[in-house]
Structure 1
Amino acid sequence: DLSIIATPPAHRHAIKTFVTKWDDAIIREACQRELTRGGQVYFLHNEVQSIDRIARTLEEIVPEATVRIAHGQMREKELEDVMLDFYHQRFNVLVCTTIIESGIDVPTANTILIHRADKLGLAQLHQLRGRVGRSHHRAYAYLLKPPKSVMTKDAAKRLDAIASLEDLGVGFTLATHDLEIRGAGELLGEEQSGEIQEIGFTLYNELLDRAVKALKSGHMPEDEAPIEVSLNIPALLPADYLADVHHRLIMYKRIASAMTSEALKELRVELIDRFGLLPEYAKNLFLLSEIKLRCEGLGIKKLEAGAAGGHIVFTQQPKIDPITLIELIQKKPTVYQLDGQEVMRFKCELSDPEQRISFVENLLGLLSSPTAS
């Protein structure tokens, strides 16, 4: 079997994650559920000054629980005894600080409540959430937040991200979210914060790569909008073909980033090998990607086709022989017409999707030939 970094250990379940305000009833229900099945609970409160008060409050909310405290300012022997007692199930609720973030493996502890989760970073929340769910039992994580007026916008984004990505093996995806929320420094400068958070890490990398390639070739980088191709046909990877949403997103990205027809062919072979023959909608997706590559080679920035025709928008310097274009229009003036210097329209019956695809492919072939025939 092939194991990748996103593959979870066998027999593990995703940790069910809730983001909620402090509510005695919810806290009591979460603790009682865990204690009823013979498990243990982490209650994380990351302020040593008030941790005793929180422990007393918890004892009042869940009187049947046995509550102990653990934090980094305790004597080493005292802290060790508390953690050993918790590991051996001599008590069932541990009120603690982020000292449990690493090095703790208690399979019987499968519920964690994190007080003021808005004060913790996304990677830290993910690490703390991983303290539970270390056995075959379903685990629960409750992120207790204050009112919206108290939280920062970035804190709200972090909580939304951690709650939406609760599947196993999403660490890299969360790291990407974290980078976009916090922003990253300039990759080619000394500033600790750059513009990445404005446009996203992936797009920033693409723009940077494009600029570097342009400068290496001796040209000034230009603002280039992505090529738009629309044939008004469904083009996607269906959920019943590729069920995992994260794998679908990754594959969409790989298809969109393919720079050659050969790269698209390899992706098609990979999909067929892993998931079976491509459904019709997936074939359309590869077809549109292939057409985009052809458009890029001809200097076309937009191609749209529908049931009654469509239009092509050229770049300022298209890679098409002007004579070819003129001959094409002269031979079929009722079909092809120029609309300004950058737009060519075509009018014909293309209600059948296969006919529409064939027409577009033939048109691109004519435009790429030395003379229109």
Structure 2
Amino acid sequence: ALPYSLTRSQLTAIDEVHADLEKPERMLRLLQGDVGAGKTVVALLAMARAAEAGTQSALMAPTEILARQHLATIGPLAERAGLTAVLLTGRARGKERSETLAKIASGEADIVIGTHALFQEAVEYRDLGLAVIDEQHRFGVHQRLAISAKGEMPDMLVMTATPIPRTLHMALLGIRDIASLTTPPADRRAIVTEVIPYNTRRITQAIRRELAREGQVFFVHNRVHNIERIADEVRAMAPGATVAVGHGQMPDGELEQVMLRFMRREADILVSTTIIESGIDIPTANTMIINDADRFGLAELHQLRGRVGRSKHRAYCYLLLPADRTINEVAQKRLKAIEQYSMLGAGFKIAMRDLEIRGAGNLLGAEQSGHIAAVGYEMYCHLLEEAVLELKNEKPPPPPSGTTVELGLGGLIPRAYIPSDQRRLEAYRRLAVAASLDELARTRDDLTAAYGSPPRAVGRLLALSEIRVLAAGLGVRAVTIRESDIVFRAEDPAPVAERLRAGDAPGSISVLPPRAVDQLSEVYFRVPPAYFEAPTLLRVLARRLGAAPDPARSPNRNAHPAAPIR
């Protein structure tokens, strides 16, 4: 039993992962959740399930500090469940390393937590059944393949706090199963975020308030050349407090000792560069001060802010602006956004706002911006997926459908629902190129996660898109309305005619031969006048097109189920 309650989204993710582990085919799932959403416990329960099946699990983290932190979190919980967790890093030497390798090889270690050392040649697993990769964007394809090669195609769970749209994850990683943690833990509170000029008095107040409640403070200054001077200024603001300094140019061992001192509460204030951005979890540190905040990206500010507020105590984040420098317009937009989106689980909204500020073209780096702008984000992902599959000698995905649906029913995305023109056009594009009901369902889920439940007009647009996908699957080129008939135009009318006849709703079907002008046959589907009301017509068409024909002419809607319209 866990010492805390799980959120609804954690329970859903755990069920999905466990179901994957029961399947005969290999699991390849992405676990996506905002900072502090509770991804680690989902991974732990997956590893416990693997242990029940008699296999080992490996959890790979990008840094030794993060690996040690995972051990501190997972180790005691694993021990309560009768499991053994060990740590393996590149710095392990001598007897300690030999004993750890022996436990891994013998199978005594159920869970192996570490860094890149997990896939070194000397490491032999008795039976690696599950590989968990944390901060997956910090690892390359070859590193992910290397850990997989340590077992016989082990199941893989990759975790990320970066809310990249799911289509890009699918294209780049080949991952189609995605679990999202959208519900923050019950005891978490929103982080109070303020953008203020650099002011010694305000900074002193913030530091002393945190120290007075026996907490700790992060002070981020991303310039190594004068970080010691900044640390001296902080010491002057908080006499009697222990101030530690850490940055990426320190030797690995020295930097690790600094971080461990802070984690053990041997230092009250940590003045550091952005090395604390990824994964560091210190519940007693609940004040974050970021100097020269205008020099940071929006996602980076969000990650840094996520280092505090990881307990039930109210957390504070102060974004300091220089008094001697004018802040440009783009930086002002970033700071306004990070201040505005301070609620729990705001990562997706922040990512969307970041794309608006930078332009979607910057998503993969400046060198790709022209390509994305030229063909559109969704088409770019489609082409990218084609290229990835070609390199893997796999079958490319089907091209976007050219089927049109013109039923005289208005479906649109109101500006009130998606205010950004760019995001609204992106949503239209995703609906237009969707080639399956699953893609439409994912688009609907993404819209709901980002903007709330779709209004009626968006629901109608989704329903029209569903009809387009179903019709395209039957070889239909166009769906139109002509007086009292719904007309389907196709080169081969048999599939759509049979599908329409398979349904049990009222209506008559007739087929006209190909026209000379385009060699397309026409299938006329006449329904009662009452069915021409928009919601009814859309439901009837989706049901009839989604019903598989049966030799006995009885309906069977399980073969091609229509995605529900919400």
What is the TM-score of this pair, normalised by structure 2?
Answer: 0.37
The separation in 1 between residues aligned to 2:240 and 2:319, in whole angstroms, is: 23
The separation in 2 between residues aligned to 1:185 and 1:46, in whole angstroms, is: 27
Q: Deviations over 1:17-67 (max 9, x none)?
A: 112211122211211221111000000001111111111212223334332
1:138, CA displacement in angstroms? Answer: 1.6
The number of residues matched between the two structures is: 271
The separation in 2 between residues aligned to 1:141 and 1:39, in whole angstroms, is: 14
8 Å CA contact 2:371, 2:380 repeated in 1: no
Q: Deviations over 1:195-249 (max 9, x none)?
A: 978x9xxx9557989xxxxx97789x9xxxxx9979xxxxx99xxxxxxxxxxx9
Q: Per the alignment, do residues 195 and 153 of structure 1 end up closer, same or farther by CA in structure 2, a change over 3 Å counting?
A: farther
Q: Per the alignment, do residues 182 and 58 of structure 1 end up closer, same or farther by CA in structure 2, a change over 3 Å counting?
A: same
Q: What is the aligned partner in structure 1 of residue 304 from structure 2?
A: 128
Moved runs in structure 1, 4+ residues, more than 4 A? 203-209, 215-219, 227-230, 256-259, 282-293, 319-322
8 Å CA contact 2:242, 2:267 repeated in 1: yes
1:257-276 equivalences in 2 (<5 Å): none
The separation in 1 between residues aligned to 2:348 and 2:213, in whole angstroms, is: 32
The separation in 1 between residues aligned to 2:371 and 2:356, in whole angstroms, is: 10
Query: Per the alignment, in what secondary structure is the counterpart of residue 344 of structure 2?
Result: coil
Q: Per the alignment, do residues 194 and 164 of structure 1 end up closer, same or farther by CA in structure 2, a change over 3 Å counting?
A: farther
Q: What is the aligned partner in structure 2 of residue 20 from structure 1?
A: 196
8 Å CA contact 1:85, 1:91 repeated in 2: yes
Q: Which amino acid aligns with 2:200?
A: D
Q: What is the aligned partner in structure 1 of residue 245 from structure 2?
A: 69
8 Å CA contact 2:431, 2:465 repeated in 1: no
Q: Per the alignment, do residues 163 and 195 of structure 1 end up closer, same or farther by CA in structure 2, a change over 3 Å counting?
A: farther
Q: What is the aligned partner in structure 2 of residue 38 from structure 1?
A: 214
The separation in 1 between residues aligned to 2:457 and 2:353, in whole angstroms, is: 30
Aligned: 1:100 with 2:276: yes
The separation in 2 between residues aligned to 1:64 and 1:122, in whole angstroms, is: 34
Q: Per the alignment, do residues 104 and 320 of structure 1 end up closer, same or farther by CA in structure 2, a change over 3 Å counting?
A: closer
Q: Per the alignment, do residues 288 and 32 of structure 1 end up closer, same or farther by CA in structure 2, a change over 3 Å counting?
A: same
The separation in 1 between residues aligned to 2:317 and 2:247, in whole angstroms, is: 20
Q: Per the alignment, do residues 141 and 287 of structure 1 end up closer, same or farther by CA in structure 2, a change over 3 Å counting?
A: same
8 Å CA contact 1:180, 1:196 repeated in 2: no
8 Å CA contact 1:229, 1:291 repeated in 2: no
Higher relative contact order (CA 8 A, sep 6+): 1
Aligned: 1:5 with 2:15: no
The separation in 2 between residues aligned to 1:229 and 1:192, in whole angstroms, is: 36
Q: Per the alignment, do residues 20 and 186 of structure 1 end up closer, same or farther by CA in structure 2, a change over 3 Å counting?
A: closer
1:203-214 equivalences in 2 (<5 Å): 205=377
Q: Deviations over 1:129-177 (max 9, x none)?
A: 1111222222111111236963332222222222222222222322222
Q: Deviations over 1:320-343 (max 9, x none)?
A: 879xxxxxxxxxxxxxxxxxxxxx
Q: Per the alignment, do residues 149 and 164 of structure 1 end up closer, same or farther by CA in structure 2, a change over 3 Å counting?
A: same
What is the TM-score of this pair, normalised by structure 1?
Answer: 0.54
Deviates more, 1:40-49 or 1:143-152: 143-152
1:119, CA displacement in angstroms? Answer: 1.2
Q: What is the aligned partner in structure 1 of residue 255 from structure 2?
A: 79
The separation in 2 between residues aligned to 1:166 and 1:217, in whole angstroms, is: 40
Aligned: 1:109 with 2:119: no
The separation in 1 between residues aligned to 2:237 and 2:409, in whole angstroms, is: 58
The separation in 1 between residues aligned to 2:362 and 2:266, in whole angstroms, is: 51
8 Å CA contact 2:279, 2:307 repeated in 1: no
Q: Per the alignment, do residues 216 and 283 of structure 1 end up closer, same or farther by CA in structure 2, a change over 3 Å counting?
A: closer
8 Å CA contact 1:228, 1:292 repeated in 2: no
Q: What is the aligned partner in structure 2 of residue 336 from structure 1?
A: none
Percent identical residues: 45
Compare CA radii of gyration and give the structure with the larger one: 1
Query: Per the alignment, in what secondary structure is the counterpart of residue 290 of structure 2?
Result: strand
For 1:49, which of 215, 225, 238 is the aligned residue?
225
Unaligned runs of 5+ in 2: 1-10, 14-178, 382-398, 418-422, 446-454, 467-479, 484-529, 538-566
The separation in 2 between residues aligned to 1:182 and 1:125, in whole angstroms, is: 15
Q: Per the alignment, do residues 21 and 361 of structure 1 end up closer, same or farther by CA in structure 2, a change over 3 Å counting?
A: same
8 Å CA contact 1:7, 1:169 repeated in 2: yes
Query: Per the alignment, in what secondary structure is the counterpart of residue 17 of structure 1?
Result: strand
8 Å CA contact 2:248, 2:275 repeated in 1: yes
Q: Per the alignment, do residues 148 and 196 of structure 1 end up closer, same or farther by CA in structure 2, a change over 3 Å counting?
A: farther
Q: What is the aligned partner in structure 1 of residue 527 from structure 2?
A: none
The separation in 1 between residues aligned to 2:360 and 2:324, in whole angstroms, is: 26
The separation in 2 between residues aligned to 1:85 and 1:155, in whole angstroms, is: 34
The separation in 1 between residues aligned to 2:223 and 2:236, in whole angstroms, is: 20
1:233-244 equivalences in 2 (<5 Å): none
The separation in 1 between residues aligned to 2:401 and 2:229, in whole angstroms, is: 66
Query: Per the alignment, in what secondary structure is the counterpart of residue 194 of structure 1?
Result: helix
8 Å CA contact 2:210, 2:287 repeated in 1: yes
Q: Deviations over 1:300-347 (max 9, x none)?
A: xxxxxxxxxxxxxxxxxxx7879xxxxxxxxxxxxxxxxxxxxxxxxx
